[in-house]
Amino acid sequence: MTAVAVKYPEIKELGAEVLAVSTDKVFTHKAWHEQELVKMVEGGIPYPMLADPNGKIGTLYGVYDEDAGLNIRGRFIIDPDGIIQAAEILTPSVGRNPEELLRQLKAFKHVRETGEATPSGWCPGDPTLKPGPDLVGKVWEVWKPE
């Protein structure tokens, strides 16, 4: 959460929003924010932390562990039309990469604005693919995996 908080200005610049959702109650979020998160990131977490104590939201996204009563850590990129474009679910012991989140947001924005496709590992400035009949059988001419 704090690594994303540091990147939040860049995320907002891309037109995206961040929401953190957990099964903890609002009071637990408040205490955690005041006792720990503000010590890790100046000003604390700049985006909303939502309470999902019954796992309803987590169930909708397929991350609620009913036996444990917890939402498994996940990250979802939802486009302006409300469609999930990316999902990443990791065990709690493996941290997520906010740089990869930014890369994906830039790629999704590029695809949405241009209609082009971004190959694996694409970063702004890298070659893109222009879908269509002319590309069939010729991807190898345009894109080389590193």
Residues 23 and 56 in one domain: yes
Long-range contacts of 45-50 (CB under 8 A, 24+ apart): 45/1, 45/2, 45/5, 45/20, 46/5, 46/8, 47/4, 47/5, 47/8, 47/17, 47/18, 47/19, 47/20, 48/19, 48/20, 49/20, 49/21, 49/22, 50/19, 50/20, 50/21, 50/22
Say whether pLDDT at 74 is over 80.
Answer: yes
Say whether pLDDT at 83 is over 90.
Answer: yes
Angle subtended at Cα 65 by Cα 62 and Cα 66, rounded to the nearest 5 degrees: 115
Residues 83 and 20 in one domain: yes
Residues 56 and 126 in one domain: no
- 22 forms beta bridges with 51
Domain region containing 122: 115-146
Say whether pLDDT at 91 is over 90.
Answer: no
Model pLDDT for residues 37-68, shown as the tens digit of each residue:
999 999 999 999 999 999 999 999 999 999 99
The pLDDT value given to residue 146: 72
CATH number at residue 70: 3.40.30.10
The pLDDT value given to residue 135: 82
Task: Quickly state the pLDDT bin for 122 (edges 50, 70, 90).
Answer: very high
The pLDDT value given to residue 96: 87
The pLDDT value given to residue 133: 84
Instruction: Please name which of 95, 90, 87, 142 lies closest in space to residue 117, comparing C-alpha atoms.
Output: 142
Residues 9 and 47 in one domain: yes
The pLDDT value given to residue 138: 82
Structure tokens given for 34? 């005041």
The pLDDT value given to residue 145: 80
Residues 62 and 129 in one domain: no
Residues 66 and 122 in one domain: no
